[in-house]
Chains A and B, each alone.
Chain A
Amino acid sequence: MLDFEVFVQQLITGLSNGMIIALIAIGYTMVYGIIELINFAHGDVFMLGAFLALTLLGLLGMESWGPWGQAGGVATMLAASALFCGGLNWSLDRLAYRSLRRSSKLALLVSAIGCSFICVNLGLFWGGLPMEVFGGGMAAAAPKDFPALIPQTNLLGDSFIRITPADLLVVAITVPLMVGLTVMVKRTRLGRAMRAVAQDGVAAALMGIPVDRVIGATFFIGGALGGFASVVYALYNNTIGFQMGTRAGLDAFTAAVLGGIGSLPGAVLGGLTIGCVRSMSDQYLETRWTNTIVFGILVLILIFRPSGLLGAARREKV
């Protein structure tokens, strides 16, 4: 194998993972754009989506279905996880965040951290379900194998560079979602309402926009994207665990900040960048330093360019 081929291979892996990170990052960026909250629980909502997908897969016995049946199974999991994560994210807003709209931002952030911990614990319990796919419930905390319904065979034949159906699945699901979301935010009434609330919540309310409902919708959409991402992640990486939300969440949040928080194209750009940084660091440095590098990037961007690559500079009134 040539050095160049290794590089291209890592680039493909990085871009595929980056698309997934971008999808999660959109959830952070939308919520931050509208209520200036780092929704700590978002990564853990994503994790629970993957657990729901695995549960469905086990209950319906999808592994024994034919190829078309499995495609239907993937569609079922995507729909179910998206609805579930959207609903869960909406409920977190309704139960834990909405009553704190007038409190300090610190209180809101602390509440989100609390929600994150609750979700992690639910994931731990969920992993203990006495089901075959969860290892019979004996080791709740252990990572779970997620069956490769989408084959990881190489579409390019014997070439060293591998492009698999799983890579294509990532593109086929994430790109339309990102395009659709952009159109939604730019063109629809709800999208316009979301932008209005993000600009000035009080003015939006005075113009008759139901602010709480718009914020709830934002949480739902962000969560649903996380749900899609969770199924794609599970099918691509084939292993899930109750602690994966923290790491995925941090990658995604870094991506959102890198791109410029509040900006949708920024989140996508940031996600792809972080995905590539991770895969390159795994290849050319050492895997054990990868997290340090991602955090280092986050810290450096926040210090030197807090508005991110594509974000407009926003000054906080202190």
Chain B
Amino acid sequence: MRWRPGPIVILLGLAALVPVLDLLLPAAFALSEAVRTVFLYAILALGLNVVTGYAGLLNLGIAAFMAVGAYAFGILTCEIYPFQFGFWSALALTLPIGAAAGVILGAPTLGLRGDYLAIVTMGFGEIVQDVLKNLDSITKGMQGINPLPAPALGGEQWTADDERKWFYLLFVLLALTVLAVRNLERSRLGRAWFSIREDELASRAMGIRAERAKLVAFATGAALAAFAGGLSASLLSSTGEPNNYDFQASILALCIVIVGGIGSIAGVLVGALVMVGLNSIVLVKATAWMAAQGIGSQGNVLLSPNNWKFLIFGLALVIAVRVKPDGLLPPRLEGTRR
């Protein structure tokens, strides 16, 4: 049989061509910077997809794990703390740290029914933000921890100007994440997750250890979210303020998964492109264009594209679950169709 590229390969292949496309386009239309954000959110949403898409556990606080990763990276690398790890070792450590945070939240709560679990994760998200704001002697409060190091390859320290290097680093890490998640999906564990999602009682009867499988899903999602957080902190050279990891960020990740196709890797990639594209490309460029045209946002709330964000996210969720409950690119794995 001839090999034909699946949607994942096509999407990643197209994404890899963006910097080349940028060489041809005028500078005002350059896309690579925004596409980097798409990559970051795609990693975050792939983590959420493991929890919500595969294991069927609604997590409304995924951004909190992103915050855990970002602040862990900050504390491990920033010169004001005693650790002073390098980029690579600190980034690698965000994975186990995120997983540990996931286990700490997940172990006592995963026995809860679905909607209560959703509320607990949402509460956890708010608590993490409050703690980061209030423990300002450690977390620097609203200023965030900075400056943070960029990666160094071959003894050469990157700077903010190395845009293409950053682009391809994030691209490679996203591709590795996709590969890892795809292998998980097809493993014994992945099938256990699908089985629990469809019918937990039956899965238990078949000998699946549901508690343990759910905890692993939760920890995996948290680890990937923390990984995305560490990357984002290094990219921005700052953890940013705690509010960057608020409920809205968690919902953006949820929108990506729901709109793209819950439980589908290709769907998450498309969802990230659509939702983050709207959020970081269309709205940002529209704001810049309107400012250039002299249409001020002063005095009229409707004229600032940014003010439409909540409406767009909200409508995306309501319409997606109603019109396309399986998302734009539903999962195609055999035997797991809903």
Q: Mark B283-320, 1 if CB is under 8 A from A, else 0.
A: 00000000000000011111000011111011111100
| B5 on interface, CB distance cutoff 8 Å | no
**A103 close to chain B: CB less than 8 A:** yes
Contact A100 B322 (CB under 8 A): yes
- Cα A291 to Cα B133 in complex, Å, equals 12
Q: Which of A166-193 contact B (CB under 8 A)?
A: none
Do the beta carbons of A125 and B201 come within 8 Å of each other?
no
In contact, A127 and B301 (Cβ under 8 angstroms): yes
| B134 near A299: Cβ-Cβ < 8 Å | no
Interface residues on A, range: 35 or more
Q: Does A302 contact B (CB under 8 A)?
A: yes
CB pair B112 A303 closer than 8 Å: yes
The digit string for B159-199, where 1 denotes a CB below 8 A from any CB of A, is 00000000000000000000000000000000000000001
Report yes or no: B310 in contact with A120, Cβ–Cβ below 8 A: yes
Residue A69 interfacial (CB < 8 Å): no
CB distance from B22 to the nearest CB of A (A): 33
CB of B328 closer than 8 Å to a CB of A:
no
Which residues from A are CB-within-8-Å of B318? Answer: 96, 111, 114-115, 118
Contacting pair A38 B130 (CB below 8 A) = no
Are B200's CB and A296's CB within 8 A?
no
Say yes or no: is A137 at the interface (Cβ < 8 Å to chain B).
Answer: yes
Whether B310 pairs with A121 at a CB distance below 8 angstroms is yes
Residues of B within 8 A of A124 (CB): 301, 307, 310
What 0/1 pattern do residues 120 to 134 of B give for CB contact below 8 A with A? 100110110011011
Inter-subunit contact A125/B302 (CB<8 Å) = yes
A36 at the interface (CB under 8 A from B): yes
| B113 at interface by CB-CB < 8 Å | yes
Task: Classify the interface of chain B: helix, strand, loop or mixed.
Answer: helix
Q: Which residues of B contact A292 (CB under 8 A)?
A: 126-127, 130-131, 134
From B58, B116, B199, B314, contact of A106 by CB (8 A): B58
List residues of chain A with CB within 8 A of the CB of B119: 38, 253, 257, 298, 302
Tell me, yes or no, whether A65 is within 8 Å of chain B by CB.
no
Q: Are A140 and B112 in contact (CB under 8 A)?
A: no
Residue of A nearest to B210 (CB): A318
Q: Are B56's CB and A116's CB within 8 A?
A: no
Q: Is the CB of B317 within 8 A of A38?
A: no
Which residues of B lie under 8 Å from residue A289 when comparing CB positions?
130, 134
Q: Which residues of A contact B147 (CB under 8 A)?
A: none
Assess whether B308 is in contact with A111, with CB atoms less than 8 Å apart.
Answer: no
> In the complex, A303 Cα to B119 Cα: how many Å?
12
Q: Are B314 and A114 in contact (CB under 8 A)?
A: yes
Docked complex Cα distance between A288 and B56 (Å): 34
Taking a contact as CB atoms under 8 Å apart, the answer to whether A306 and B116 are in contact is yes
Q: Contact mask A221-248 → B, CB, 8 Å, 1/0?
A: 0000000000000000000000000100
Write the nearest CB–CB distance from A127 to chain B, whole angstroms: 7
A interface majority secondary structure: helix
Are B127 and A296 neighbours in the complex by a CB distance under 8 Å? yes
- Distance of A121 Cα from B317 Cα, bound (Å): 14
- With beta carbons under 8 angstroms apart, the residue of A100, A117, A246, A296 that contacts B321 is A100
In the bound assembly, the distance between CA atoms of A107 and B124 in angstroms comes to 22
Residues of A within 8 A of B133 (CB): 288
- Chain B residues positioned under 8 Å from A302 (CB to CB): 109, 112, 116, 119-120
Chain A 108-137: CB-based contact to B (< 8 A → 1; otherwise 0): 111101111111111011011000000001
A295 adjacent to chain B (CB < 8 Å):
yes
A137 to B298, CA, bound (A): 10
Which B residues lie within 8 Å of A159 (CB)?
Answer: none
Q: When the two chains form their complex, are residues B310 and A110 in contact, meaning their CB atoms are under 8 A apart?
A: no
CB closest residue in chain A, given B116? A302
Q: Of B58, B123, B315, B322, which is within 8 A of A298 by CB?
A: B123
A4 to B115, CA, bound (A): 41
Whether A291 lies near B254 (C-beta < 8 A) is: no
- Asked whether B108 is an interface residue with its Cβ less than 8 Å from the other chain, the reply is yes
Instruction: Report whether A105 and B299 are in contact in the complex, using a CB–CB cutoff of 8 Å.
Output: no
- Per-residue CB contact flags for chain A residues 285-316 toward chain B (1 = under 8 Å, else 0) read 01011011001101100110010000000001
**In the complex, chain B residues whose CB is within 8 Å of the CB of A137:** 299-301
In the bound complex, CA of A38 to CA of B113 (Å): 12
- Whether the pair A117, B313 counts as a contact (CB closer than 8 A) is yes
8 Å CB interface, B78-133 against A: 108-109, 112-116, 118-120, 123-124, 126-127, 130-131, 133
Interface residue A64 (Cβ < 8 Å from any Cβ of B):
no
Q: Which residues of A contact B277 (CB under 8 A)?
A: none
Task: Please tell me if A138 contacts chain B, counting CB pairs below 8 Å.
Answer: yes
Q: Mark B51-95, 1 if CB is under 8 A from A, else 0.
A: 010001010100000000000000000000000000000000000
On whether the beta carbons of A121 and B314 are closer than 8 Å, the reply is yes
Report the Cα distance A78→B17, complex, angstroms. Answer: 59
The residues of A that contact B247 with a CB separation of less than 8 Å are 246
The complex places the Cα of A228 from the Cα of B42 at a distance, in Å, of 43
The reply to whether A103 and B314 form a contact with Cβ atoms under 8 Å apart is no
Check A306–B130 contact: CB distance below 8 A: no
**Residue interface bits A145-163, CB-to-B below 8 A is 1, else 0:** 0000000000000000000
A residues with a Cβ closer than 8 A to B are: 36-38, 96, 99-100, 103, 105-111, 113-122, 124-125, 127-128, 137-138, 140-141, 246, 250, 253, 257, 286, 288-289, 291-292, 295-296, 298-299, 302-303, 306, 316-318
13 A-B pairs, CB-CB below 8 angstroms? A36-B115, A109-B114, A109-B115, A111-B317, A113-B317, A118-B314, A121-B307, A121-B310, A124-B307, A125-B307, A138-B299, A302-B112, A306-B112
New A-B contacts (11) at CB < 8 Å, excluding given A106-B58, A298-B119, A303-B109? A107-B321, A109-B114, A110-B58, A114-B315, A120-B314, A121-B308, A128-B300, A137-B301, A291-B130, A292-B127, A299-B123
